[in-house]
Amino acid sequence: MTITRKPHIVGKPFPIVEGQMKLAGASTYVDDLPFGPDLLYCRLVLSPTPHARIISVDATQAKSLEGVHGVFSGAEIVGRTGLNIADRPILAGDRVLWAGQPVAVVVAESPEIAEAAAALVRVEYEAMDAVLDMDMSMASQIGPIHPEMERYKMREHVHPTPRSNIGHHVERHRGDMKQGWKEADIVLEDVYEAPPVQHASIEPHGAVARMDEEGRITLWASTQAPFVQRQLIADALDLPIERLRVVTHCVGGGFGGKALVSIEAIVVAVAMQLPERPIKLVLTRAEEFTCTFLRPGFKARVRMGATKAGKLTALEATYYWDCGASIDAGVDMAWASVYAGCGPYHIDNVSITSLCLYTNRPPTGPMRGHGMSEIHWAIEQHMDRMAQLVGLDPVEFRFRNALKGGDVIFGDQVMHTFGLEQCIRRVSRALNGPQKGVRPDGRAKRRGAGIAAMWSPTLLGHIVGSMAWVRLDDSGPVHLMVGGVEVGQGLRTLAVQLAASTLGVPLNWVRIGSVDTDESPFQWQMLTTSLTWSVGNAVLEAAQQAKARVLEAVARAWDEPTGNLDIVDGVVISYGSERSLSLLDLLSDGVTTPEGEFIAGRFEGKGAFSPNTSAGYGDDSEWPLLPLMHFSAGAQGVELEVDVETGEIEILRCVSAIDVGHALNPIIVSSQIKGGAVQGVSIGLLEEVQFDDGRVQNASFRDYRLATTLDAPAKLQPIIVEIPQGDGPFGARGVGEHALIAIAPAIANALHQAVGVRITRLPLTAERVWEALQEADFDKEAT
């Protein structure tokens, strides 16, 4: 049998399936063989314009093409998806809301036929005025993008402003703002901005769905949240939830971009139209930029006051989120921003407003940091500037205002103990930064060092909790099932490690399966770095329960107290009688009690973790709150070099200190911290989704700048701080999202130290730095 590489369609971006192999003379790809010869392929017809009325969709020519099995538009596939508010159409209905929105889907026997047929679909549009940015959204000169928004299904914590493009508005206030400004000797106000960025997972979105003869649908999807997908897709398509099954294996990167529903609902809807045929859709890289999610664009207006002695007295901040055509994911970010929007500092008088705005841009979703990197981009630059005005060292200024365990934050919630001060101190010591503006080797370059602190809340939806199952038998010998998905963060390793250490067996005895909503224990969203905390606790309980049942069985067989027994390296031992029994022998042969009762070698344990969410509901709040569990903290610093002739920044060193509670696996923790730092450098220096008249202009990895190994800092220094989390497994809390939050403001602060310019808009490109130097009339010869 000859195997040849799949040909690439000239002029088209390489699809994710570019590495598949095709059987010579056949229409089946090697990677598709598990789904059988009946597999059909989808291609999307996308809107070329950001806002228009759809006059007609003519699929006559496409349907006449041999090998085409169907063309479906918003007339046949109706429904909206959303976790907080169902505002995202599966396919465009009577209007398109952004350039690149799926208008129709073509289904054919091969990707090539589907591609050719999609080009034959004719859509007639009537152009409408588009809301292209946040200023236009707030101006309200153009009507609301979602005029029927109030009729959408939404959760109680979503607060839209009627007949406007403000999809969600939330505020939090504390203290007396008038008194705070009165006490302030120094007041500083400015605006900070960050553009939309792409999650840029190496593995794009892809899914296969099939409806069987009984009407049950199985969806195989690259998703971070299978149980969320099942619920949202079932709701959107008016399916009984028991008719939909979602299966997920390891995911090739997510960063939040695969936490909600985008193209998966299209595949399920097509499978319902073509029963008993597997339906496959995998996005091209260009489609990733318009058909899935972006991180929201962001603007912050910050006003801060302090005394001459360096005590913060007041903070007023308004955070604007450009959520594109769907504010669904922005709701949680807005809530998180009013909880954490003052940064990790104790300020008596605070007023924070957060607004999710609709624009005619692609929908936005959560991204690593869940809005915290944007918030800290503003707050941590402002802190450095306030320190300069007060006349204090930036580190000392942070120490004087840092939150401590026992401080009261919003509502009546008391801050738990955490390692903020330790993190700041250790980063400061590690940097021991170079003097401002020092020139290395007499070249036209300047060096600088900067630091930024951060905190991040674990903020959960109303459906919270994790479950885990452990089974011991002679086929495993240990089977572990969790509902959390491995996306490269090391969840499987962590779960296996916790189960093995609790059971007292070697690591290689534990087998962990894929996530299947029919078979796996329940797990809701995996956001705000909650998996170590929630899944870890569930695994511990399941393993403890299974171990207790093993020891109870052996104790009965040996007629000894259970307290005498333990499992060590896979052997049940007694500290009383000094007897021992291989666990493998127990699982294969069972044991018999003195009374002659046989106990089979099969033992199970089930664990569940559901945190107490009542603390998130404050009596002083007009609106119900999302549950707030706890905060993580850290600090990050950079040393950099600026070429004053070109504006190019080179990051020489990143130092990151993160309080992880307890490092269950120090290698994984260190790797997460390093990876987060590199991603933070990428967002800080390079990344920006660029628009022209509402259309994405750089929807490829040729044009969308990402940090590579050549851009990574020469030295990445992770520092693990361990202040145990009270309800964490062995005191652990998560780390994955926190590791990039403070990098961008640390770069901006280091840039200011090096050359004296302050840039308040991301990214800090060479062009932007060079322009700032020219505007400041920077003296290249000055020391």
- Whether residues 742 and 624 fall in one domain: yes
Point out the least confidently predicted range of 114-118, 326-330, 777-781.
777-781
Q: Are strands 297-306 and 95-96 parallel, antiparallel or unpaired?
A: unpaired
> CB atoms < 10 A from the CB of 650, how many?
15
Amino acid type, 631: F
- Using the predicted structure, report yes or no on whether residue 462 has a pLDDT greater than 90: no
- Give the per-residue pLDDT at 408: 84
Mean residue pLDDT of the chain comes to 91
Tell whether the model's pLDDT for residue 616 goes beyond 50: no
- Mean pLDDT over 765-772 rounds to 97
**C-alpha radius of gyration, the chain, whole number:** 28
Q: Are residues 635 and 531 in the same domain?
A: no
What is the pLDDT, as a whole number, of residue 459?
63
Q: Are 263 and 271 in contact (CB under 8 A)?
A: no
Residues 322 and 218 both lie in one domain: no
pLDDT tens-digit readout, 172-226 = 999 999 999 999 999 999 999 999 999 999 999 999 999 999 999 999 999 999 9
Residue 566: which domain range? 19-27+465-610
Beta carbons of 634 and 372 less than 8 angstroms apart: no
Q: Which of 585, 610, 635 is the last residue of a domain?
A: 610
Residues whose CB is less than 8 angstroms from the CB of residue 224 and which lie 6 or more positions away in sequence, other chains included: 251, 254, 256, 258, 259, 485, 487, 525, 526
- The structural domain count of the chain equals 3
Rounded Cα distance, 758 and 752, in Å: 6
- Residue 233 has which token pair? 């897709």
CATH number of the domain that 46 lies in? 3.90.1170.50
d(CA 131, CA 440): 48
**Its pTM surpasses 0.85:** yes
Tens digits of residue pLDDT in 102-133? 999 999 999 999 999 999 999 999 999 999 99
Chosen domain end from 610, 630, 650: 610
Strands (E), 473-626: 478-482, 510-512, 515-516, 565-568, 571-574, 580-582, 591-592, 598-599, 603-609
Q: Does one domain contain both 641 and 659? A: yes
Can you tell me the distance from the alpha carbon of 375 to that of 369, in angstroms, rounded to the nearest whole number?
10
pLDDT: is 90 or 417 the higher one?
A: 90
- CATH number, domain of 525, equals 3.30.365.10
Contacts of 6 (CB under 8 A, 6+ apart): 17, 18, 20, 21, 22, 29
434 against 770, higher pLDDT: 770
Same domain, residue pair 264 and 317: no
Q: Are 455 and 631 in contact (CB under 8 A)?
A: yes
Return d(Cα 490, Cα 484) in angstroms, integer.
11
Asked if residue 661 and residue 538 are part of one domain, the reply reads: no
Short-list 637, 540, 646, 558, CA closest to 595: 558
Residues 272 and 378 grouped into a single domain: no
* DSSP string for residues in 491-520: HHHHHHHHHHHHHT--GGGEEE--EETTTS
Structure tokens, 580: 């021992």
> Where among 282, 309, 327 does a domain terminate?
282
- Whether 414 and 618 have beta carbons less than 8 Å apart is answered as no
Reply yes or no on whether the pLDDT at 10 is more than 50: no
**What pLDDT digit, counting tens, does each position of 639-679 carry?**
999 999 999 999 999 999 999 999 999 999 999 999 999 99
Going by pLDDT thresholds of 50, 70 and 90, the confidence category of residue 530 is confident
Same domain, 301 and 404: yes
684 and 548 assigned to the same domain: no
**For residue 531, what pLDDT band results from cuts at 50, 70 and 90?**
confident
Q: Confirm if 22 and 3 have CB atoms less than 8 A apart.
A: yes
Judge whether 53 lies within some domain.
yes
Is the residue at 182 inside a domain? no
Residues 420, 336: one domain?
yes
pLDDT tens-digit profile of 581-596? 999 999 999 999 999 9
Are residues 471 and 457 located together in one domain of the fold? no
Question: Do 278 and 317 have their domain in common?
Answer: no
The whole-number pLDDT of residue 528 equals 58
Indicate whether 691 belongs to any domain. Answer: yes
The pLDDT, as a whole number, for residue 73 is 98
pLDDT tens digit sequence for 231-287:
999 999 999 999 999 999 999 999 999 999 999 999 999 999 999 999 999 999 999
State the average pLDDT over residues 480-496.
Answer: 94
Please indicate, yes or no, if residue 148 is contained in any of the structural domains.
no
773 band by pLDDT with thresholds 50, 70 and 90: very high
What are the b/e assignments for 582-592, b being 16+ CB within 10 Å? ebbebbeeebe
Query: Is 60 exceeded by the pLDDT of residue 625?
Result: no
